[in-house]
Amino acid sequence: MGRIKTALEIALEKMEEIHIDEEKIQNENMKSDARSIAGTYLENDRMQEDELEKRLSKYSGASLNLVTNTINSIIIQNLVMPSGIEYKTRNNRVAELFKIINDGNTKATELVNQIMGLEDQYWEAMSGLLDKLKDQYKDALAQSDVPPEQNKDFLNMYQANVKQMNKQFGSVLEKAKSQLKTMLGME
């Protein structure tokens, strides 16, 4: 008659079958550190280039490549259409971080600068859209007793214009980001 195993014995046998992938754990730790480095640099304008380089100096070879790719992914995620004037300050930090991480890759740096220019164009277009539409339709609006911000037809027209601009600029941005990923060997 066979011996009945205790729950502890069964659990210990199963534990012996579990293999820990040390490389995978190290990679996740490096990615986590890369996210921390990027986040700290982007959010804290007191973190200077020398401190960033010091934190990156502990990596080399494949490890540095993994950290750099992770930071580049974060940079690309931060290339978005602006929603407030503070985007300029943020863009400056994003551009600085990109230049430091990708030192020597002038074509990719130029593309990031073009994306930043696209974001500026978008901000200018969105900032002036309401006034431009008010001016364009001032005769029709003058006949209404309702202010433009409460006029249903005007608001529908404004929202349609915003949607169209978001679609156009968003499409160009996504293509540029895809091109950037290709340039950086991320696709």
* pLDDT averaged over every residue in the chain: 89
Q: What mean pLDDT comes out for the span 160-184? A: 95
- 104, pLDDT greater than 90: no
Q: Is the predicted pLDDT of residue 1 greater than 70, yes or no?
A: no
d(CA 84, CA 63): 36
- Is the confidence at residue 2, as pLDDT, over 70? no
Mean pLDDT in residue range 109-137: 91
115 contacts 109 by C-beta, under 8 angstroms: no
User: Region 160-176: what's the mean pLDDT?
Assistant: 95
The Cα 117–Cα 72 span in angstroms is 19
Measured CA to CA in angstroms, residue 12 lies from 2, 9, 106 at distances of 19, 5, 56
Confidence of residue 49 (pLDDT cuts 50, 70, 90): confident
The amino acid that residue 49 corresponds to is E
Give the pair of three-digit tokens for residue 96. 């600085």
Distances (CA, A) of 6 to 3, 9, 17, 57, 110: 10, 5, 17, 51, 66
Model confidence band, residue 42 (pLDDT cutoffs 50, 70, 90) = very high
What pLDDT score does 62 carry? 93
Q: Any idea where the domains of the chain sit in the sequence?
A: 7-183
pTM of structure: 0.80
DSSP letter at 2 equals P
